[in-house]
Amino acid sequence: MKWGRWIDHLPLWLAFGATLSTGIYDPGELWVMVVPLVAALVVELFAWDLGRFHRWLEIGALVFFLAELARGRGLFTAAIHTLFMLAGVRLILPRESAHRRQLLLMGFMLFLTTAMGTTDIAFLVWMLAWFCAATLVLLQLSWEPSAALRQGALARPPYAQVPGWVGMALLFGTGVFLILPRLNLGLRPGLLLGGTRTLGQAGLGDRLDLSGGGPIEPNPEVAVRIAPPPGLDPRMNPQWSRGLELLPGVTLEAIQGQRWEPADLTRPPLFAPGSPALHRRAEFLFTATPQGILTLPAGLMGLEPPDAPITAGPGASRRWRFPRARTIPLQVTWTTAPVDSREPLLSSRRYDLLTRLEPEHASARRASLRFAPAILPVPQLARVLETALRQFKYTLDNPSGKAANPLEDFLDRTQAGHCEYFASAMALMLRARGVPARVVNGYRLGPWIPEGGYFRVSQNEAHSWVQYWHEGRWWTSDPTPQGAAALAAESQGMQALERWADAFRYRWDRYVVRFSDQDQLAGFSWLQTRLQGWEWHWKAPSKTVEWVLGLAVLSWLLWRGRGLWRPAPVGPGRVAALRPLLRRTRGYVPSQPGDTARSWLLRLGTLRPERQEALEQLADAVDALAYGPGHTAAATLAKAEAAAWRGWKPATPS
């Protein structure tokens, strides 16, 4: 009873923790959720009685809800915030059993909204913790009424049984999950929830703006995992990963000021088919993103399934036709041969677009002449400019982001920035020399995770590089310094525990989140194959084994039949006729260890004196059934007594 009221706080705090782990709320929204719970903890700690203020607190919650709607939060978000507020108010005020059940329902609703927004393995831990907390609350609510009727020192509730109950529920749920078909709804109220905290973080975008302001923060969120065929280790066969070094996503050809954007005139790439011996195949597991851009190898040959909901997007990109909420796998085939990105003829409009410069890009013209003053062939000019830019410093601090002209500040003063500055500078320097050039946004290939058998590409690997047109085809140039070396150092920096955790998340997504009917059929087929190939080989037991088995069977028969040769008083649970009565009275006078049927029935008589005579008759009938040749009246009397206790409740003191 001492910790009973504190247990009421657990489901709500665990619902808040699960909400916090999803990362789909802004910090301001999280403060709105946690402040009422903290206030309730303070009131509980100091045992303040605020019951006289209940009207004001309820009116305050209503005003808060209306204010949330007036601020344009949206009904869903305002309802979640208000639910946390009401839960805090309910915890602050004096509460009875009905109020505590309301709190548990509020915690369930808040936890359910979180469950709609994530499928991560970490959420399984929060789910089990919340189920344990909810079981504790229900156990406390069912135990307290019967405990209040007992005399003497109170025993503790059976808290130790909670993990076993939750474990059995988990096993049952796992069995149902493996057998029954499922709906892959992918529920996620992304349009209704608050904004995420991705502003200013590394990541792939379908635009490029050099005037982004402050520094860029690292973002370890996984963008795509690339799993080669089973049994293939790219460390032993490095040639297999050729063509994956740069994964283009969107091509940016139009520039306005410091901002690059896709252009309507951009043509999709044309790839010549390579030799089948140079084809490679892997599973690309894409994490859902707001833009839905697919980053695929430049030498793409094919995608499976062929009916995947993929459409052409701006900037020659491939995107999901509909917003996705869960990871999506694709079987990708590409060629390791040099990619023939041909575009033999540029129209006058496309040529003007790809060589356009604005007055504020004069610094790019000056830098181009400074780095390469002589007239050079286009490939040599590109190499000279690339070499010059690689002497600059790579940093995420973005020292030129707040300048009036970030590109000019990058080229003439700081000579330090991230990949977007290097790619923009080189593309504009090439344009200043009359060479059509554009910027490509995509990813570098991430580190190999040996524990999971895949390449892990995170948002930290988001990258920009340059393509320039020469002699009827597009050539790739990456002027960012130390890109490959920095990536290798980062991959080596992943600790073993981090790699194991990421591999575990991958398997969770593959075998739980994406577990499908096809997986069920494959599992059943495997089991059927094993059963069909199993043969029973009988080997006659030795004499010693026969004697041991015989003694074991004899001992078991003697133990099962001990009541026939050793009559003894039996507890009420051993009498089948008394079991309905036990079920009806377990909340008032449960059977205790050492109770006989008579002692328990007489104890029932002290609770209901008007039934004492009938209970004594039932005790006599049960004794006759246990010690005598049998008594047919025991079952009849027990059935009548159970009916008499139906719906009975102890009278409350006036």
Distance CA 323, CA 189 (A): 12
CB 342 within 8 A of CB 355: no
- In the sheet that holds 473-477, the strands lie side by side as 246-252, 437-444, 462-470, 473-477
Pairing of β 317-320 and β 310-313:
antiparallel
Within the chain, which residues score under 70 in pLDDT? 1-4, 73-74, 115-121, 146-155, 176-200, 270-275, 277, 325-326, 483-494, 513-547, 558-571, 626-632, 651-654
pLDDT in tens, 449-487: 988 889 999 998 999 999 999 988 899 999 998 754 454
Number of Cβ within 10 Å of residue 547's Cβ equals 11
530 is written with which tokens? 């094993």
Residue 18: exposure state from Cβ atoms within 10 A (0-12, 13-18, ≥19)? buried
> 132 and 126 in contact (C-beta within 8 Å)?
no
Instruction: Dig out the tokens for 187 from the structure.
Output: 């529920």
Which string of b and e fits 562-589 if b means at least 16 CB within 10 Å?
eeeeeeeebbbeebebbebbbebbeebb
pTM of the model: 0.60
Rounded distance, CA 162 to CA 155, Å?
Answer: 16
Beta bridge partners, 468, equal 437, 475
pLDDT of residue 652: 56
pLDDT, position 410: 93
Q: Is the peptide bond before 479 cis (omega within 30 degrees of 0)?
A: no
Whether residue 441 contacts residue 204, with contact meaning beta carbons closer than 8 Å, is answered with: yes
pLDDT at 261: 93
| 185 and 530 Cβ atoms separated by less than 8 Å | no
> What pLDDT digit, counting tens, does each position of 601-626 carry?
888 888 888 888 888 888 888 877 76
CA 76 to chain centre: 21
Query: How many C-alpha atoms does 9 have within 13 Å on its Cβ side?
Result: 18
Helix (H) / strand (E) element for 127: namely: helix 121-149
Per-residue model confidence (pLDDT) at position 196: 38
Please give the structure tokens belonging to residue 286. 């894409």
SS3 readout for 401-426: CCCCCHHHHHHHHHCEECHHHHHHHH
From residue 280, how far is each of 284, 330, 332, 458 by CA, in Å? Answer: 12, 14, 8, 22
> For the chain, how far is it from start to end, CA to CA, in angstroms?
23
Which residues neighbour 516 within 8 Å (Cβ) at sequence distance 6 or greater?
182, 184
| Bridge partners (DSSP) listed for residue 624 | none
CB 22 within 8 A of CB 118: yes
